[in-house]
Chains A and B, each alone.
Chain A
Amino acid sequence: MKMWLSQHWQALGQTLKQLARTPLSSLLSIFVIGIAFSLPLGIYTLIGNLQALSGHVANTPQLSLFLRMDATSSDIEQINARLEKFPNIASFKFVSKEIALQQLQHESGLADVVDSLIKNPLPDAFVIDIQPVSPNELESIQATMKKWSEVEHAQVDTDWARRLDAFIRLGQFAVLMLACLLGFALIIVVFNTIRLQILTKRDEIEVSKLIGATDSFIRRPFLYFGAIQGMAGAASAWLIIALGIQAINESLVELTQLYSIDFFIDHLSLLDSLSLLLFSAWLGWLGARLSVAQHLSLIEPE
């Protein structure tokens, strides 16, 4: 066990020395990976924020319940009671047909037309503010209320929320595609770096094999190198995004003050950040593994 640990420790040390031996090219390749990765990562971060935003505003549209024309005051009482117990409702208010007519008279400039009406054509209505829910939930609330016998019509405008949702879905798809492509590119970058390293360490590998080094011993520092390169690349992408968010938020301050809204972009969650680092480390490891399998067998001692 102790020997096993010490072997891994040595391999890690060798890897870091290797990185330090060529600091400029190490940094360059890490930054290239970082810049490439910051594209899907940036889109992903934006989408996460948009999603939060859409969840946040999806309920601003009110749900209007128009009652049947023959609804009695006891019907109104009943709906009032039901709404009080209904989950996900932030607030609601009752708009009687008389008040609605008055509003129409005052606000629409149709006073003459309204005056000429013999009978009030407007129904009683409830205007409901709903707590943050997904567009689907909003629709199911609407469907439930529509089934109430006193309700003639339940109206909600979810179109824009649906559109945003579709847009987000498209973005998610784009992120997935980009991430796949760039993940592939990372594997290729590491593959090539390791190939060059193996070539420059030809003598050392040959001698090591001759005096009894196992394949896994020879592989180990290269695998570490690949994993570290992948992880460092992802970390630099993370940093690039962090700087970008910082800059955007600074300019958002003015905007938000102007419109008195509260919106700032958040960085990736801790879990997302950790997954990013681990996944990139794994990709780097994979690239190194493939490269080693391809090139190490070519170095057979003679």
Chain B
Amino acid sequence: MISFKNVYKRYPDGFEALKNVAFTIDAGELVYLTGHSGAGKSTLLKLIAAIERPTSGHITVSEQNVNALKKSTIPFLRRSLGIIFQDQKILYDRSVFANVMLPLQIRGFEKKISAARVRAALDKVGLLAKETANPITLSGGEKQRLCIARAVVHRPSILIADEPTANLDVDYAQSIMEVFRSFQQVGVTVLIATHDVTLLNDTRYRTLTLNQGKLIS
């Protein structure tokens, strides 16, 4: 589903964030990506969504060669993904409902169908009661759950989460992980970047570890 071969990423300032990274994630897998701060986790996730482009190497996502994608086809790659951003990217000029609506809006869904889907997604993360609220009024955990709802509302085949449990207490983190597991159980490929050790102690799932831009396991 996702495969990296000899991937290097050097930022314009010359900093080499990823060095010779290679791995494969199969369809329906749930995989953790870990490593110290600055190890290159976010960079790796951005390469998957073509938010950053690799300096060299090959990246394949759902049979698409991401290196070769033209600028005009990148939106369609991103539509097959659900992304939870480390900095959340919530829009505070609109309601919780409207935030979750956005992915459906850009796909041209009809209002009625999308309203039902948005409510289903909000229900799944336990935010239905807050649909009319402005996101600024949400707690940290609620904001994270809003991001999850926005990432899954269009039923992507791949879910990418960058530190989804950052700054959450253990109970919240566990409940959010439950949501991810439930997606994996219905066949979604899930990749979670985290340095939450309690999550990593869960030995059911594979863990990729980055160190100074190199994959060490």
Contact = CB atoms under 8 A, between A and B. Distances in A.
A10 B109 CA distance: 10
Contacts of B102: 207-208, 211
Nearest to A218: B106
B91 A211 contact: no
Given A212-B75, A212-B76, A302-B51, A3 B106 contact: no
Contacts of B108: 3-4, 6-7, 10, 217
A127 B78 CA distance: 86
B105 A10 contact: yes
B110 interface: yes
A301 B49 CA distance: 11
A204 B106 contact: no
A2 interface: yes
Interface in B80-118: 81, 83, 85, 89, 91, 93, 102-103, 105-111
Chain A binding surface, main DSSP class: helix
B54 to A, nearest CB: 16
A206 B75 contact: no
Contacts of A6: 108-111
Interface of A: 2-4, 6-7, 10, 203-204, 206-215, 217, 301-302
Top-7 shortest CB links A-B: A212-B78, A212-B79, A213-B106, A7-B108, A3-B108, A212-B75, A214-B75
25 contacts: A2-B110, A3-B107, A3-B109, A6-B108, A6-B110, A203-B89, A204-B91, A204-B93, A207-B89, A207-B91, A208-B102, A209-B75, A210-B49, A210-B78, A210-B85, A211-B103, A211-B106, A211-B150, A212-B77, A212-B79, A212-B106, A213-B75, A213-B106, A214-B75, A217-B108
Interface of B: 49, 51, 72, 75-79, 81, 83, 85, 89, 91, 93, 102-103, 105-111, 150
